[in-house]
């Protein structure tokens, strides 16, 4: 049994966690130039402590689901920018026998939500109402989803997998440079909400780098969940605290909303790219459909011969993405409320029809592209983590509170942030949200409806065996980042760390532009793309983070890669 769980049984886990945290505070968190190798398990997350906790769960005999749930609770403590109890997400599981399933624990609109709740009397969007404060909050699903996964597919008790998160919340972890900078930037916003200021500021000031960040209220919340499970959050004391906060500040979430919430197990959406099987999340995520649709379009092009990030490669990639995002805006939404033409959208025949409209030498203006007709072919801030165990049970989880630190609202006495996922609905048709995405009736606001998401937890299989486990944070850039990482491995023979770190582009139909990372495209490539008619925009702060695992088909060696753009970590065992 690992040291972590030996310490846990003696009631001294806090000592190990604090020693580990203090040592990690001195480390450079950037991903290594080579992938991390392992044989019996791999965990890749956005924070070194969370990765370590997941790895220790595997060492203690837990399976990948046990580790994923432990990581989810740990991230709620050590990565509050996106890890959460007050948000939601998606989990994709591939079992050793090749079967798969997905768990939808996306947030829901409160029962009091209305179609035009974010519009003023003239029909215009009210600034910040869907992104900041109490009206921005959807009914959270993370606790229900993680616990559902553990109860159905895990092997350990909730008390054991949640124990490390409780100890870190109770006794603190050192504030990193990135966390300190976030607190400095957000301090004026947190001061608008007393409970948030209490949680994230010390005597009104941001915590200093290296200072211990202790979360006593959050620790009590986690203890309640450990003792009474899901009911503690949705029907017990935590629910009372959520509703009290909402009533005090005229929010919409009620006792009835929380009691009625339940996660949903759904079939995965599957497709193929050359010899690879693609297993991903279906609606209300747009990610799986969009990735499969894009890969279907690109499959007929010789991307390998074109070369990585050549003008020809970027051109066809961008043209495929334009068409995918146009369909996303029209057809995708909560399948419980909207008839999503899934099989049509991921059909090879439909992709061929879309491909016919791509000129190999000239860009198609986005204003000339509208959604296709897939029916005739029928037959955000976010965090992603990837886990695989010694039996090759693979789990991909993407969870979110939408923008960084969500609605900026902390629940008084409970210590956790609430999401601002209501902004992921189409508050007004064809009007961009926080990430510049537009939508229509398929994603209109309705009571108890799940908002559309770009989250893309994905598993790639080859010859009946798992090959990649990956996903990303980054709002609308999640889809493009995951797809490019897959192509980097399959078409450009990169190792998984190279594939994650390689410069990316982003195109989402509207606005009509290719966004590229600073120094990510050569000068002659930029010139050629402009001559083709593309509008180009350089970014100095690419917001997507990919965390991925690759399984060598020959040796079954596991290779983990955390995105070097951020502070994540791969842990092998």
Q: Measured between alpha carbons, how far is 168 from 541 in angstroms, rounded to an integer?
A: 30
The token pair at 467 is 């090959």
Q: How far is Cα 541 from Cα 525, in angstroms, rounded to an integer?
A: 21
**Which uninterrupted H or E stretch holds 117?**
none
Three-state DSSP at 349 gives helix
Tokens encoding 273: 């790219």
Based on the number of CB atoms within 10 Å of its own CB, is 220 exposed (0-12), middle (13-18) or buried (19 or more)? Answer: middle
From residue 412, alpha-carbon distances to 205, 420, 462, 472 in Å are 19, 17, 48, 30
Measured CA to CA, the distance from residue 526 to residue 515 in angstroms comes to 11
pLDDT of residue 10: 41
Q: Which domains does the chain have, with CATH numbers?
A: 49-68+80-172+214-573 (3.60.20.40)
pLDDT at position 373: 66
The length of the chain, given as a count of residues: 573
Q: Where are the alpha helices (DSSP H) in 174-215?
A: 177-190, 194-200
Is residue 254 flagged as an active site residue?
no
Is 250 exposed, middle or buried (CB count within 10 Å of its CB: 0-12, 13-18, 19+)?
Answer: exposed
Beginning with the edge strand found earlier in the chain, give each strand of the sheet holding 505-506 in spatial order: 505-506, 514-517, 536-539
Other CB atoms within 10 A of residue 436 CB: 14
Rounded Cα distance between 136 and 126, Å, is 12
Reading the chain (573 residues) residue by residue, the pLDDT tens digits are 344 444 444 444 555 555 555 444 444 444 457 999 999 999 999 999 999 999 999 999 999 999 999 999 999 999 999 999 999 999 999 999 999 999 999 999 999 999 999 999 999 999 999 999 999 999 999 999 999 999 999 999 999 999 999 999 999 999 999 999 999 999 999 999 999 999 999 999 999 999 999 999 999 999 999 999 999 999 999 999 999 999 999 999 999 999 999 999 999 999 999 999 999 999 999 999 999 999 999 999 999 999 999 999 999 999 999 999 999 999 999 999 999 999 999 999 999 999 999 999 999 998 887 776 676 665 447 899 999 999 999 999 999 999 999 999 999 999 999 999 999 998 887 676 666 666 678 999 999 999 999 999 999 999 999 999 999 999 889 999 999 999 999 999 999 999 999 999 999 998 899 999 999 999 999 999 999 999 999 998 767 999 999 999 999 999 999 999 999 999 998
Could you tell me the two tokens for 36? 């991390």
> What are residue 266's DSSP bridge partners?
102
Pairing of the two strands 514-517 and 536-539 = parallel
Sheet order of strands, 458-462 included: 36-38, 558-562, 545-551, 465-473, 458-462, 276-280, 269-273
Task: Tell me how far apart the alpha carbons of residues 176 and 212 are, in angstroms, rounded to a whole number.
Answer: 10
Q: CB of 168 within 8 A of CB of 74?
A: yes
Catalytic residue among 45, 81, 254, 382: 382
């Amino acid at each position: 049994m690992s040291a972590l769980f030996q310490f846990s049984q003696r009631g001294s886990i806090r000592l190990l966690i604090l020693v580990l945290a203090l040592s990690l505070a001195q480390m450079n968190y950037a991903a290594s130039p080579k992938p991390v190798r392992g044989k019996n398990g791999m965990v890749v997350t956005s924070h070194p402590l969370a990765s370590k906790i997941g790895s220790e769960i595997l060492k203690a005999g837990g399976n990948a689901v046990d580790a994923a749930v432990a990581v989810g609770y740990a991230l709620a403590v050590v990565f509050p920018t996106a890890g959460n109890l007050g948000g939601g997400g998606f989990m994709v599981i591939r079992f050793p026998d090749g079967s798969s399933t997905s768990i939808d624990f996306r947030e829901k609109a409160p029962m009091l939500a209305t179609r035009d709740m974010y519009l003023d009397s003239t029909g215009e969007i009210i600034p910040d109402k869907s992104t900041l404060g109490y009206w921005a909050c959807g009914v959270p699903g993370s606790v229900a989803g993680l616990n559902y996964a553990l109860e159905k597919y895990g092997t350990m008790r909730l008390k054991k997998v949640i124990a490390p998160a409780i100890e870190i919340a109770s006794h603190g972890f050192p504030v990193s440079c990135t966390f300190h900078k976030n607190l400095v930037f957000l301090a004026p916003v947190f001061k608008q909400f007393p409970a948030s200021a209490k949680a994230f500021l010390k005597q009104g000031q941001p915590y200093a780098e290296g200072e211990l960040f202790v979360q006593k209220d959050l620790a009590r919340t986690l203890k309640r969940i450990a003792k009474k499970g899901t009911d503690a959050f949705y029907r017990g004391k935590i629910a009372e605290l959520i509703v009290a906060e909402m009533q005090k500040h005229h929010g919409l979430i009620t006792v009835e909303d929380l009691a009625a919430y339940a996660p949903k197990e759904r079939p995965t959406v599957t497709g193929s790219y050359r010899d690879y099987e693609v297993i991903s999340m279906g609606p209300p995520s747009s990610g799986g459909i969009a990735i499969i649709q894009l890969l279907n379009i690109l499959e007929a092009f010789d991307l390998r011969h074109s070369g990585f990030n050549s003008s020809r490669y970027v051109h066809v990639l961008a043209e495929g993405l334009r068409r995918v995002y146009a369909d996303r805006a029209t057809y995708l939404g909560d399948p419980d409320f909207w008839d999503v033409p899934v099989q049509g959208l991921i059909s090879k025949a439909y992709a061929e029809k879309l491909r016919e409209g791509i000129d190999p030498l000239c860009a198609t203006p986005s204003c000339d592209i509208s959604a296709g007709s897939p029916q005739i072919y029928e037959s955000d801030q976010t965090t992603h983590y990837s886990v695989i165990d010694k039996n090759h049970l693979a789990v991909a989880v993407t969870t979110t509170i939408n923008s960084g630190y969500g609605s900026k609202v902390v629940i008084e006495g409970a210590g956790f942030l609430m999401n601002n996922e209501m902004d992921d609905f189409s508050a007004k048709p064809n009007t961009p949200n926080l990430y510049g995405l537009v939508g229509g009736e398929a994603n209109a606001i309705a009571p108890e409806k799940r908002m559309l998401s770009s989250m893309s937890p994905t598993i790639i299989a080859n010859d009946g065996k798992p090959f990649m486990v990956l996903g990303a944070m980054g709002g609308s850039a999640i889809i493009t980042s995951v797809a490019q990482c897959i192509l980097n491995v399959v078409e450009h023979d990169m190792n998984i760390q190279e594939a994650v770190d390689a410069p990316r582009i982003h195109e989402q139909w509207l606005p009509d532009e290719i966004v590229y990372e600073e120094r990510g495209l050569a000068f002659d490539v930029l010139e050629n793309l402009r001559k083709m008619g593309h509008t180009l925009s350089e970014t100095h702060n690419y917001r997507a983070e990919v965390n991925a695992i690759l399984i060598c088909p020959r040796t079954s060696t596991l290779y983990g890669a955390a995105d070097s753009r951020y502070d994540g970590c791969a842990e092998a065992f």
